[in-house]
Chains A and B, each alone.
Chain A
Amino acid sequence: MSDQPTYRVTFLVLSLVLIAAFLLNISLGSVAIPLKGIFAAFTGGEIEKETWRITILEIRLPKAITAILVGCGLSLSGLLMQTLFRNPLSGPFVLGLSSGASLGVAMLIMGASVFGGVASLVLTSSYSLVIAASLGSFLVLLTVMVVSFRIKDTMSILIIGLMFGSITAAIVSVLTYFSDAEQLKQYMMWTLGSLGSLHAEELSILSILSIVGIILSIVAIKPLNAFLLGENYARSLGINIQKSRYIIIIATSIMAGSCTAFVGPIAFIGLAIPHITRLFFQTTNHKVLVPSVCLVGAILLLICDSIAQVPFYDITLPINAITSIIGAPVVIWLLVRKRKMIF
């Protein structure tokens, strides 16, 4: 209808930006590869240097796809949490999901030394890392869920998230006393986050989980919009509160849990992207926000990753540092503008 603004143009522009960011991300790195080379690698055509093909198909393409999936997943889980907990400061980080995952990984890497040398070798393979992180974040989520049934106050739920952060920090600092430098380094590397360490098999697991999360979010669009009025109004609009809550919480945990497990805790994406998107689209309608948050999240993480891989140099900065450097000022700026922080 003429009254409702259409976002077709904005979506088109964002999609083009996403493709541009994707190509830029693949093209930049220790060696810059021109566009022609990228297309040649994709289509299997003539390529200037045969090493480029391997670089693109086996290193840069999986990394770029990981960036898109993680950008989507974290931003979307942030949006769902902000609406569900009626708190503009919610995100996978604030709610303690990332802390839970960190705790799982810390216990695995550093706690493994307790079981002796052989066990630690078996336990610290990449898959057990992912399982530990998922278990950790799921445990936090279960706790949050139990609390949310008992206490209606959403503030308490956030405080529980903060408490999990403290518990993680405390347990990690205790564990560092009992672990050697090698294990400590391994844990630190995980917390810094890396988009580039996923194999094809891991990537397909992440893709499947992300798609499941996105589908659940789309199913939850109508209840999410009703939740903007609060739970009593939502119920009076015929929404099944309990069922909708389950769907939203499960979608959130699948996306936040799998992303954190595979690439490490990545800060600020989940918190900042929904706010940037709302500012951009000037709406709170989830029918617009769910797809647009995915697009903006993917674009921003691709750009952050392009910066992190330091074009033309043979070094890679931790992705978590870049997202924090970019994300923290954005959140502060949003808070200073105050009115825009409401959701």
Chain B
Amino acid sequence: MVGANGIGKSTLLRTLANIQLPLSGEIKLQNKSLFSYSNTELAKEISLVLTEQIPSKNLTVIELIALGRQPYTNWIGNLSKNDYEIIENALLKTNLLELKHRKCYTLSDGQLQKVMIARALAQDTSMIILDEPTTHLDMYHKAYVLNLLKTLAHETHKTMLFSTHEIDLAIQLCDEMIVMNNGCVFSGTPCELIEQGIFEKLFPTDLITFDASSGSFKVKRTH
């Protein structure tokens, strides 16, 4: 999901994730209204990776990921053998095995983001919603995280819905894109969207223009 600052990407994601109420309209998940789901049912369908900092960074990596199993555990949160296998698998898939006993405050932003993705993965939902998962990351880690999401989506058959400002990377890595523009929303594969010239209208054209042949934005030469 891409769009200019302030267009409402986060608001839409937060509404879809049931963090805030919709202003109007209806949200359906698997042909069922989002509001007819109970808390626990919804927790088994949608997991989140948000931009907000977690309050307790004293958690170890494995403790944090284990919290993703809460919708499935009993009243006191005991983890079963199956839960441990899923946690281990999430660690493996996100390449975090050697960090699993580290405290979160010792991790870099990129590592912490991977941990948050692993936690969402351990929640074992059909959909993972991520709000700008690549902010604060360097160029390599931006590409790494988005590539990881693509791999995970294909391997685990989960829908990964995320907002991002990395339009170039998204065009290269996403299966489908939602482009939010003033008043209208477009969706389709990156190729279709380029052919329709959707990206040209995304920003004011006084400074940057979209180059359809390379699929990226270029700064206009000015004198």
Contact = CB atoms under 8 A, between A and B. Distances in A.
Given A86-B55, A219-B75, A238-B40, A229 B19 contact: no
A208 to B, nearest CB: 23
B29 to A, nearest CB: 14
Interface stretch (B62-70, B152-160, B185-193, B205-213): B62-70
Interface string A215-246: 00011011001111110110111111000000
Contact of A218 (B60, B68, B76): B76
Nearest to A5: B101
Given A229-B56, A230-B54, A232-B50, A237 B67 contact: yes
A233 B48 contact: yes
Nearest to B81: A1
Interface residues of B, number: 40
Nearest to A340: B58
B56 A284 contact: yes
A49 interface: no
B178 interface: no
A221 B17 CA distance: 25
A229 B75 CA distance: 18
Contacts of B201: none
Interface string B1-19: 0000000000000000111
Contacts of B38: 238
A81 B34 CA distance: 32
B174 to A, nearest CB: 23
B113 interface: no
B37 to A, nearest CB: 10
A240 B56 contact: no
Contacts of B43: 236-238
A232 B51 CA distance: 11
A285 interface: yes
A229 B57 CA distance: 9
B73 interface: yes
B35 interface: no
A237 B19 contact: no
Nearest to A222: B77
A230 B52 contact: yes
Given A232-B19, A233-B48, A238-B42, A287 B63 contact: no
B76 A222 contact: yes
Contacts of B42: 236, 238
Nearest to B78: A287
Nearest to B40: A238
A342 interface: yes
Contacts of B94: none
A228 B68 CA distance: 12
B55 A229 contact: yes
A293 to B, nearest CB: 15
B84 interface: yes
B17 A236 contact: yes
Nearest to A85: B55
Contacts of A283: 60, 63
B105 A339 contact: yes
Contacts of B71: 237-238
Interface string B107-134: 0000000000000000100000000000
B54 A287 contact: no
A63 interface: no
A342 B39 contact: no
A221 B54 contact: no
Nearest to A218: B76
B67 A284 contact: no
Given A237-B43, A237-B70, A238-B70, A221 B77 contact: yes
A287 B75 CA distance: 11
Nearest to B19: A232
Contacts of B170: none
Given A221-B77, A225-B70, A3 B84 contact: yes
Contact of B55 (A225, A228, A240): A228
A343 interface: yes
Nearest to A2: B84
Contact of A235 (B39, B63, B76, B81): B39
A278 interface: yes
B48 A228 contact: no
A225 B17 contact: no
Contact of B76 (A86, A221, A226): A221
10 cross-chain pairs, A with B, having the tightest CB-CB distances, nearest first: A238-B43, A86-B55, A238-B40, A228-B56, A222-B77, A237-B70, A238-B71, A238-B39, A236-B48, A229-B54
6 contacts: A225-B77, A226-B70, A233-B48, A236-B42, A287-B76, A339-B105
Interface of A: 1, 3-4, 83, 86, 218-219, 221-222, 225-230, 232-233, 235-240, 278, 283-285, 287, 339, 342-343
Given A3-B62, A229-B64, A230-B54, 7 more contacts: A3-B100, A228-B67, A229-B55, A229-B67, A235-B19, A284-B59, A339-B105
